[in-house]
């Protein structure tokens, strides 16, 4: 995820500096310059082999969920978790492929495809849900930052004989988990206010080191504790939270198009997407199985609360080293998440105009404050991941890709036909080019005659709307599940 965010942030930073912050350009000139920057980002990017593309897609999916997946495997059962992971891997893979099937070579990103086929309303849904999911990703990252940081702070306090509060207690009268978050957020807030994140973008690229180290550490610990596998929980039906977490763990839909545009062999895009999802499932399976074995029979250590796998493993130089690497990696990614969500939010309101400085500071302050509230009240990382993945993820994983597919194949795509509900705003959007950051488009889709012959219309509708029903059910169950615990 980190590298994809770095690329997005770099492009957005160029747009901000050259387009949005330039008062001498008209809207039409800004739109043209923005398009040129996006085209240049694709044209100048090195073309990747299929192997590099597969790793890039997988690396975009693998992230902070690695810390919580072992705990969920242990609680929900190893076999149950593997089955759930496989189901959501297959669903996400298929809907991701649907987006690429309908993306034209000249369309540089997914919003252009959505605008052409579904229109402005669905593009608005995509943008809003993308902002929300990235915001909650930032919340999760900050909570994990504070988890790692407070563990290290407690180590230092024990060495210096300084009194501190347990992580699970809400305390403001002495050194506590809450004060740790407040102080660190003040430091991060100064970075969040910056409009030039070039240094952070460069540092993020080294985050893969912390991911590899974490995977190796978990597998090693699981191997050492392998005799405990006989006592491991294998199967339960308590998989609701797990479904939500794996929804977000396999969610790469918003950035799959730019990644695949750099694939040297475009004809292999669908195959490479399938392989990347399979490889990612294997990573999650290894981390989940070995992590569940590693925590089997272990109690939560005094410096944790049981939300991550590190809370169950003995504290030594290796575990502290992993925490330092995770702390550094998460710290570099968090400002990028804030930067991208802020840019996307103001793009919805001001389009290509620069927002007033007061609103810039106000928005950043609100994001920082609300994120801090989640941390101070020690909201479960698994709960945030599952709710955001199952509820918000429904739109990006299920609704938009499936509607793209079914509309492109079967809806009458006439620009002036306002009777078609799915595309009834297309004419209005195109007739107001001065209000749109998109150019006028050719509404003809790619030739799908061979694709349509594979299945009849009824079979295809049943298949995809069963998938959509699964997504809706998971969203509903994740909403009501916290009230029954």
Instruction: State yes or no: pLDDT of 40 exceeds 50.
Output: yes
Cα angle, residue 425 at apex, residues 350 and 406 outer, rounded to 5°? 115
Question: Looking at the DSSP assignment, which residues form a beta bridge with residue 263?
Answer: 48
- Kindly report the average pLDDT of the chain as a whole number: 88
Q: How far is CA 408 from CA 333, 420, 449, 455, in A?
A: 36, 12, 11, 15
Please give the average per-residue pLDDT across 459-484, as a whole number. Answer: 91
**Amino acid 1: pLDDT:** 62
Q: Which domain holds residue 361?
A: 2-484
Judged against a pLDDT cut of 90, whether residue 12 lies above it is answered with no
Lowest mean pLDDT among 44-58, 71-85, 105-119, 418-432: 418-432
Answer for the pair 425, 120: CB distance below 8 angstroms, yes or no. Answer: yes
131-145: per-residue pLDDT in tens? 999 999 999 999 999
Task: Please report the pLDDT score of residue 422 as a whole number.
Answer: 38
CA distance 248 to 390: 7
CA separation, residue 128 to residues 57, 205, 384, 439, 485 (Å): 23, 27, 18, 21, 30
Inform me whether the pLDDT recorded for 296 exceeds 80.
yes
3-state SS, the chain, equals CHHHHHHHHHHHHHHHHHHHCCCCCCHHHHHHHHHHHHHHHHHHCCCECHHHHHHHHHHHHCCHHHHCHHHHHHHHCHHHHHHHHHHHHHHHHHHHHHHHHCCCCCCCCHHHHHHHHCCHHHHHHHHHHHHHHHHHHHHHHHHHHHHHHHHHHHHHHHHHCCCCCCCCCCCCCCCCHHHHHHHHHHHHHHHHCCCCCHHHHHHHCCCHHHHHHHHHHHHHHHHHCHHHHHHCCCCCCCCHHHHHHHHHHCCCHHHHHHHHHCECCHHHHHHHHHHHHHHHHHHHHHHHHHHHHHHCCCCCCCCCCCCCHHHCCCCCHHHHHHHHHHHHHHHHHHHHHHHHHHHHHHHHHHCCCCCCHHHHHHHHHHHHHHHHHHHHCCCCHHHHHHHHHHHHHHHHHHHHHHHHHHHHHHCCCCCCCCCCHHHCCHHHHHCCHHHCCCCCCCCCCCCCHHHHHHCCHHHHHHHHHHHHHHHHHHHHHHHHHHHHC
Instruction: Give 423's Cβ-side CA count (13 Å radius).
Output: 24
How many other CB atoms sit within 10 Å of the CB of residue 421? 11
Please say if the pLDDT value at position 219 is more than 50: yes
Any idea what the CATH number is for the domain that residue 367 is in? 1.20.1740
Q: What does the pLDDT read at residue 17? A: 83
For the segment 456-471, what is each residue's pLDDT rounded down to a tens digit? 889 999 999 999 999 9
- What span, in angstroms and rounded, lies between the C-alpha atoms of 355 and 347? 9
Q: For residue 232, what pLDDT is reported? A: 87
Closest by CA to 58, choosing from 209, 208, 247, 222, is: 208
- pLDDT for the residue numbered 424: 38
**Over 50: is that where the pLDDT of 212 sits?**
yes
CA neighbor of 460 nearest in space, from 396, 398, 400, 409: 409
Per-residue pLDDT band for 247 (boundaries 50, 70, 90) equals very high
376 vs 27, more confident: 376
Above 80 in pLDDT, residue 425? no
Residues 334 and 279: their CA atoms lie apart, in Å, by: 26
pLDDT at 482: 82
pLDDT of 351 > 60? The answer is: yes
pLDDT band at residue 444 using 50, 70 and 90 as cut-offs: low
Judged by average pLDDT, the poorest of 65-79, 143-157, 206-220, 433-447 is 433-447
Residues with Cβ within 8 Å of residue 230, at least 6 apart in sequence? none
What is the separation of C-alpha 69 from the centre of its chain, rounded to a whole number of angstroms?
Answer: 15
Residue 222 — φ and ψ, nearest 5°? -65, -40
Residue 55 has pLDDT above 60, yes or no: yes
Q: Which of 192-201, 293-302, 414-423 has the lowest mean pLDDT?
A: 414-423
Cross-strand pairs, 48: 263
pLDDT of residue 42: 78
Q: What is the dihedral of CA 447, 449, 451, 452, to 10 degrees?
A: 130
Confidence of residue 114 (pLDDT cuts 50, 70, 90): very high
Please write the tens of the pLDDT for every residue from 409-423: 887 654 434 333 333
CA distance 88 to 97: 14
434 pLDDT tier (thresholds 50, 70, 90) = very low
Top mean-pLDDT range of 31-35, 192-196, 212-216, 353-357: 212-216
Please count the other Cβ atoms lying within 10 Å of the Cβ belonging to residue 64: 25
pLDDT digits (tens, 9 = 90+) for 226-241: 998 888 889 999 999 9
State the average pLDDT over residues 294-301. 90
Q: Say how many C-beta atoms besides its own lie within 10 A of residue 155's C-beta.
A: 14
Q: Quick one: pLDDT band at residue 323, thresholds 50, 70, 90? A: very high
What is the length of the chain?
485
Query: What pLDDT does 39 receive?
Result: 84
Structural domain count, the chain: 1
């Amino acid at each position: 995820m980190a590298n994809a965010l770095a690329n997005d942030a770099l492009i957005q930073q160029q747009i901000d500096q050259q387009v949005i912050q330039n008062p001498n350009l008209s809207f039409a000139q800004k739109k043209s310059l923005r398009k040129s920057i996006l085209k240049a980002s694709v044209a100048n990017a090195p073309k990747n082999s299929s192997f590099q593309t597969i790793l890039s897609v997988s690396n975009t999916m693998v992230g902070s969920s690695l810390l919580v997946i072992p705990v969920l495997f242990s609680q929900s059962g190893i076999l149950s978790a593997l089955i759930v992971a496989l189901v959501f891997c297959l669903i996400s893979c298929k809907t991701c492929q649907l987006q690429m099937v309908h993306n034209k070579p000249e369309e540089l990103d997914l919003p252009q495809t959505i605008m052409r086929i579904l229109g402005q309303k669905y593009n608005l849904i995509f943008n809003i849900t993308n902002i929300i999911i990235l915001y909650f990703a930032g919340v999760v990252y900050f909570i994990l930052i504070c988890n790692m940081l407070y563990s290290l702070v407690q180590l230092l306090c024990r060495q210096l004989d300084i009194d501190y509060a347990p992580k699970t207690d809400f305390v403001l009268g002495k050194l506590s988990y809450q004060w740790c978050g407040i102080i660190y957020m003040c430091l991060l807030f100064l970075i969040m206010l910056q409009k030039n994140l070039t240094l952070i973008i460069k540092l993020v690229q080294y985050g893969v080191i912390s991911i590899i180290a974490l995977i190796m550490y978990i597998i090693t610990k699981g191997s050492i504790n392998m005799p405990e596998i006989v006592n491991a929980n294998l199967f339960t039906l308590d998989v609701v939270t797990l479904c939500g977490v794996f929804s977000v763990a396999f969610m790469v839909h918003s950035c799959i198009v730019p990644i695949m545009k750099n694939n040297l062999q475009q004809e292999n895009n669908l195959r490479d997407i399938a392989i990347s999802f399979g490889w990612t499932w294997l990573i999650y399976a290894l981390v989940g199985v070995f992590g569940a074995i590693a925590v089997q029979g272990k109690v939560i250590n005094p410096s944790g609360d049981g939300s991550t796998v590190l809370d169950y493993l003995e504290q030594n130089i290796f575990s502290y080293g992993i925490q330092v690497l995770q702390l550094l990696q998460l710290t570099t990614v968090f400002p990028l998440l804030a930067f991208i969500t802020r840019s996307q939010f103001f793009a919805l309101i001001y389009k290509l105009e620069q927002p007033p400085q007061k609103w810039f500071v106000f928005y950043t302050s609100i994001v920082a404050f609300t994120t801090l509230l989640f941390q101070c009240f020690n909201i479960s990382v698994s709960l945030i991941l599952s709710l955001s993945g199952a509820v918000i993820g429904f739109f990006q994983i299920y609704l938009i890709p499936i509607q793209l597919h079914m509309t492109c194949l079967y809806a009458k795509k006439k620009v002036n036909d306002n009777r078609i509900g799915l595309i009834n705003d297309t004419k209005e959007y195109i007739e107001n080019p001065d209000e749109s950051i998109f150019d006028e488009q050719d509404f003809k889709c790619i030739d799908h005659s061979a694709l349509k012959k594979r299945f009849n219309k009824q079979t295809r509708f049943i298949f995809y709307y069963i998938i959509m029903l699964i997504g809706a059910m998971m969203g509903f169950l994740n909403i009501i599940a916290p009230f029954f615990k």
